[in-house]
Amino acid sequence: MKKGLIVITMLFMLTPLLSACWNQKELTDLAFIMAMGIDKGKDKKYKVSFQLVNPGNVSSGQNGGGGQGLPIAVYRSTGDTLTEAARNATKKVSRRLYYAHTNVVVVSEDIAKKDLLYILDGADRDPEFRTTTQLVVARGCSAEDIVTTLTILDRLPVNKITKQIKSSEAMLGENMAVNIDDFLSSLVSKGKQPFLNGYKLVGNIPLARKQENLQKTTTDAYLSSDGLAIFHDGKLRGWVNNDVARGIVWIQDKLKSTDISIPWNKKQKALIVAPIRSKTKVSVHFINQKPEINIAINSEGWITEANTDIDLNNPKIIEKINKLVESKIRKQILESVKATQKLKSDIFGFGDKVHIANPKLWKKLERNWDEEFAGLKVNVKADFYIRREGIRTVPFWSTMGK
C-alpha cells in the first residue's frame, strides 16, 4: 500500500514535467524584428517601422550566400501608443511579431525631446523585449530612414549599427554602446543623467532603400555614427561631437584606443600617438563643505606616426612626448566636462560620487544639483607612457634632414 502511494505521489509530482512544448512557437509562424524605428507624425501618432529579417535571403549555403532578394522587409504602423502601433502592424504582417531578437531601437530627435520615457516603459515592461537592446537617436533624419537603409558589408543593417558602434568605441573612442538598461539606470539615479549615440544617414536618402545602392563600390548613401546625445530627466538637451564626445567616453573608463596628435619641430600633427591601455578613476574630496572632483587617467600607448626628424631612441625625447600627450589629454577631458556643465547635465555620475562620499551634504545639494554641477570644480591628472615606437625607431625623415 505504501509503495503504491509513493508511486502515485511521484507520478503526480512529475506530471508538470510531462507537459512538453505547451508554449512552442514555430519559426514559420514568427516575424523576427531586428530593429525598430520610432518617429512622431504630424497627427501626433507614433510611426513605428519594424525591420524584419528575411531568413531565406540571409542564411548562407555551401555555394555562396543566401537568396537574391533583399535581406530585410520593413513594415510601418501607427498608433497613439507604442502598444497600439505594434498591434496595428498585425494587419499587414502575416506572422506574429517576435521581439526577442531586436538589437537596436532608433528614435527620432522629436521623440528624444518629448516622448522617449513613454517608449521605454513599454519596452521595459514587455518580458519578450530585451533591455540589452541598444538605443540610438536618429540625427538629422527620421528613425525610419535609419532602419530602411541597406548596407554592403553586413547583409542585416542592424548588425552594421551595433558592430560599428563597438568598433568606434574600441578604435576611436567617440561612441559607446548604450542599451536600454544603461539608459534606465542613469535615468532613475539622482546623481547621474543618461546619454545615447547619435546615428545619421549620409547621402541620397531615396537611394538608401534600393538594392541598386549595394551594387556599387561607392554607395550613394550610408549609415554613420554622429556624436552623443545628452539627456536630462529623460529628454534630449543637446549634442556633443568629436573630441568632446571622446572625452566623455574616456571619463566613463570605456576608451580602449584612439589617436592623439601633437606638434613637433613647429609642425602641427607631427606625431600621432595611440593609447593601447587606459584606466580612469573618478573620486571626490571636500573643501569647506564644497565638493571637488578628481579625475585620474593612467594610459599607455605607442607612436603610430612620426612625420618629422626625431630621435625616438632618446629617453629624454620620449619623456617630452609623454608630457605633451598628457597635456593634450587633460585639455580634452576638461573641454568635455565644460561642455556638459553648460548643458547642466551630469552624465558622468559626479553626483553619485558625492552621495556615496558624503550622504548628509548630498541631501543639501540634491535639489539644486544641476546648478551645483554647472559650477563644480574638476581637477584632471593624466599620466601617459609610451611603451613602443613601432618597427621603425629612426624615421626616414632623419636621413632626409627634414
Assess whether pLDDT exceeds 80 at residue 391. no
Q: How far is CA 106 from the centre of its chain?
A: 12
> Does the pLDDT of residue 236 top 80, yes or no?
yes
In this predicted structure, the answer to whether residue 354 has a pLDDT above a threshold of 80 is yes
Boundary of a domain, candidates 188, 220, 240: 240
Mean per-residue pLDDT, 17-39:
73
Which cell is 146 given?
535609419
Q: What is the pLDDT of residue 150?
A: 85
Q: Which one is predicted more confidently, 149 or 389?
A: 149
- Phi/psi for 43 (5° steps) reads -85, 10
Task: In whole angstroms, give the CA distance from residue 240 to residue 328.
Answer: 18
Q: Are residues 188 and 263 in the same domain?
A: no
Rg of the chain in Å (alpha carbons): 26
Task: Give the model's confidence band at 126: pLDDT under 50 very low, under 70 low, under 90 confident, else very high.
Answer: confident
Out of 209, 240, 271, a domain closes at 240
Per the structure block, which three cell numbers stand in for 249?
Answer: 567616453
Cell of 114: 518629448
Distance, CA of 213 to CA of 206 (rounded, Å):
10
Whether residue 59 is predicted with pLDDT greater than 70 in this model: the reply is no
What average pLDDT score do residues 308-323 get? 89
- Domain check: are 392 and 265 in the same one? yes
* Per-residue buried b or exposed e for 233-269, using 16+ beta carbons within 10 Å of the residue's own CB: ebebbbbbeebbbbbbbbbeebbebbbbebebeeeee
| Mean pLDDT taken over the chain | 86
Question: At 380, which CATH number?
Answer: 3.30.300.210
11 found inside a domain: no
Angle at 400 between CA 399 and CA 402, to 5 degrees: 115
Cα–Cα distance for residue pair 170/112, rounded to 1 Å: 26
Q: Is 372 part of any domain?
A: yes
Q: Contact 139/198 with Cβ under 8 angstroms?
A: yes
Does one domain contain both 221 and 261? no
Segment 65-123, tens digit of pLDDT:
455 678 888 899 999 988 899 899 888 888 888 888 899 999 999 999 998 998 888 88
202 and 285 in one domain?
Answer: no
Indicate whether 21 belongs to any domain. Answer: no
Give the position of cell 515592461.
Answer: 125
| CA 270 – CA 278 distance, rounded (Å) | 23
14 inside domain: no
Helix (H) or strand (E) holding 74: strand 72-79
Cα–Cα distances in Å, from 260 out to 297, 300, 334, 366?
Answer: 15, 12, 16, 37
| Tally of domains in the chain | 2
Report the predicted TM-score, pTM, of the whole model to 2 decimal places: 0.86
How far apart are the C-alpha atoms of 164 and 197, rounded to whole Å?
Answer: 11
Higher pLDDT: 65 or 230? It is 230
Confidence category of residue 22, pLDDT binned at 50, 70, 90: low
Tell whether the model's pLDDT for residue 31 goes beyond 70. Answer: yes
By CB atoms closer than 10 A (0-12, 13-18, 19+), residue 58 is middle
168 within domain boundaries: yes
Same structural domain for residues 93 and 219?
Answer: yes
The residue among 188, 215, 240 that closes a domain is 240
Question: Is residue 203 in a domain?
Answer: yes
In this structure, the answer to whether residues 68 and 177 fall within a common structural domain is yes
225 shares a domain with 246: no
Confidence of residue 20 (pLDDT cuts 50, 70, 90): low
- pLDDT value for 244: 94
pLDDT in tens, 175-222: 999 999 999 999 999 899 999 999 998 887 777 777 776 777 777 788
**The domain containing residue 120 runs over which residues?**
27-240
Q: Are residues 208 and 355 in the same domain?
A: no
- Given pLDDT bands bounded at 50, 70 and 90, which one contains residue 54? confident
CB neighbour burial string for 289-321, b if at least 16 within 10 angstroms, e if fewer = eebebebebebebebeebbbbbebeeeeebeeb
Looking at the structure, tell me whether residues 101 and 211 fall in a common domain: yes
**In this prediction, what percent of the chain has a pLDDT beyond 70?**
88
Residues 255 and 176: their CA atoms lie apart, in Å, by 8
pLDDT of residue 63: 42
My answer on whether 179 and 215 are in the same domain is yes
Pair (247, 158) in one structural domain:
no
Q: The C-alpha cell of 303 is what?
A: 607612436
User: Cα separations (Å) of 194 from 52, 243, 285, 349?
Assistant: 29, 19, 24, 9
Q: What is the DSSP letter of 308?
A: S
Beta carbons within 8 Å of 159's beta carbon, 6+ residues apart: 103
Q: Which amino acid is at 391?
A: I
